[in-house]
Structure 1
Amino acid sequence: MTEKISLTVKQQLIVICAVAALLPVWLISWITQLPWYLVVSSTVITLLITSYFALRLSKPLLQGMTSLETGLLNFKDGELSSLLAYNRDDEMGRLCQLYNQTAKQLRQEKQSIYQRELMLDNVLQSSPQAIILKNDHDFIVYSNHSARDLLGAKSALEGSQLSQLLNTAHPQLINAVERGVDGLFTLDNQQHESQTWHLATGKLLLNNQFHTLYVFKQLTRELSRQEVEVWKKVIRIISHELNNSLGPMSSMLHSAKILSEKVKEPRLSRVFLTIEERIKHLNEFVQGYGKFAKLPTPQSTRINWPTLFQQLQTQWAFDLTQQQNVTTFADQAQLEQLLINLLKNAHESGSKSEHISISLSQNNHYTRITVNDQGKGMSEQVMANALIPFYSTKSTGTGLGLALCREIVEAHHGQISLHNRSNGGLSVHIVLPNAE
């Protein structure tokens, strides 16, 4: 096969101009029967003159085309900061001007997109949801800090294969990812607490390559919050009905006691006394539940820890280990109620007073309070339900002590957890944020 000859624009212009100039010269030479040496000399002079003028005419065009080619190569490399210097007042100049306007607009849009991507990345990195994006070769192309914590990695996940990272993950997590469908699964953390997670998956086309997106959302706190809200609603309904009954009963009892004074019957006095005691007990019962169902919004102030512990030690005996200069912002009344409930449980656990202790410490982000005893501890079943309202192992318990503790802690955006101690007894850990 013969290779096709391709002429540049410059060469094409010279050929066109030369042919257009030589045709009249050859036609006149043929009509006038000029000698061959004059024809040759005329042809050479015509070629030189037309080539010179063709080069002069094509120079601006070639300069504009060269500028456009350089600009388009910059576009190809993603470089939008270079502008074309060609500024003649002709068609090529207007074309280069349009190129410069397009480059400026694209540069502005690129900067805007970069700012949006940076903001989106900051949002995703700080999101509590674990996000993993992998390509069709199983390599992770994007992940956030929550995903790193979920998989127990100490460095960025980008560039690693998801299947290799899952080799050391929790079996339930591996099973959820391998199923590849949206759904719930449970994980056990380092404190052996069961956590409920939701996995959402999706497919997307990115850079002409299919990718899989995994979004892991922890639902434990949300489910607990909804569960507590349901219990609060039940408590409010029960409290309302009991109050509606106790009010008329108290009024009728008072009237009956006045009428019974005329009868002079001792047994009636005992009956009325018993009824009065039960009504009083029910009132206290309703008020206790109402305190849980209508916990006010915490009014944060700087906690005076020495005063708080001094007040507690007038009611309960305990050993105190306190880090100096602990600054915590919380509702002092609610925090005092929290510690009263925990100390009361510790003393009722069968632990000796000298084995009950409170430790207080703080780092840059959290204040940690730990209440320890050496009582009987808790079985796994009791520990799993201890923070749920109405659950109690005591015959006279209401099941609201630890539930109220949990409500107070979560109202302060903190966390509470229960742990059996290795040497016997229970350890309650409370973590509160330091920020005001």
Structure 2
Amino acid sequence: MRLRSLEGRLAVLLAVASLSGALIYVGVTHWPLPQLLIWLHNNLAQSNLTQSVPSPNRTDAVVICAVILIPLSWWFAHIVMAPVKRLLRALEGAVASYRDGDFSISIALHRRDELGDLVRVHNELGQTLREQRQNLAQRELLLDTVVQNTPVALVLTDANGRVAYANIAARHLFNEGRSLTGLHFASLIADAPDALRKATEGTEDALFSVEMDGSEETFHLSQRAFRLQGRPHRLQLFRRMTRELSRQEVAAWKRVIRVVSHELNNSLAPISSLAHSGAELARRGDIQRLPGVFATIGERAKHLHGFIDGYARFAKLPAPRLAAVEWKPFIDGLALHCQFHLQSEIPAQAGWFDLAQIEQVVINLVKNAHEAGGPPEGVTLALNQVGHELRIEVADRGPGMSETVLAQALLPFYSTKRSGTGLGLALAREISEAHGGRIALANREDGGLRVTLILPQPATLPS
């Protein structure tokens, strides 16, 4: 126990108080008060005063001790509690300053006890909070600088639809560079093009085009709802996509031209050669070999027709016609076109999708799985109903895909096969997104590839 600690000081004061009480009690009952009273009695007797001075009994001694010790105890308590009360008042002021966001308060109290340790820890906490506040302010400044100078127009609205925050791009896009804070966003865009207003009225991300400065400008709207300081807010990001879409369109057309040119050359070159050979055979009268020449020309023409037809189907994909689909006929129909092992129980609820489109997608996925190079018995099909989503999984035991191929496998015209058109997975992606779903590719941990077709399902099937 430290002597300079509060416990040590209190122990010393209690010991002093106890010793004082004992000394007062002895002084009252034994010495010097009884001797003083006897002396007073003798002097009064010599002065012919008949009144005697009584000696204090035990009760009188206790009363006298209490009269002396109570003020003394009060004084000792004041000595002990005075620094504690001063520290509590200082801590109360510091906490009030922290509540108001002022972390510059430090307590100037130098003690070598527990109160001193508390003051030191408090001052260290204040220093830490000041440093964190400074770092936070610097980060907020950096974030505000980045947000204000980004080319993406950012608009944050509150529950009443009024703009709580908008960056420079948003001010130039919607209010000719003037501030948007406090304005009602719906009123602000009341005279805007219909495509812009309809996109902001929805809750999903959207891609729309508007007429600006005599030319068409395409925007991508990304919007999210969240709670800020306990209140609902809505964040909308308007990103200009015209240049990016133009670059992507040019790149896509270049890929199309390369693929089509390659395929046309592969078919037209043999056709041209065979036509020349057939003309030469006819000139020489060797008509026995002409049927073979014409058959080969017909085969190449049929292949070319199928290639062009595939591109045409991709470009003219109709909107899905959703209907209830019973699973057993669906599985039996798939088994007529491809081989697979069903690895899951058939869902109890019927599916809700376009039967022809999804059937074609699954058939293509199963055929791709067989062409992956794994064993035929490793191709599996699984049907799972997870919440309001239907998951159709096709897996194989082939080598899987590299990260580069996974990143580009769903792009149109991308293929790693020598004779591939790059439309199979792209068509599957197009059909799944037309259903409001998505498609995901992932390598399996124990080898192979898993393709998951995710389709939204209603809680109850429409009648």
* TM-score, scaled to structure 2: 0.43
* Structure having the higher Rg: 2
* TM-score, scaled to structure 1: 0.46
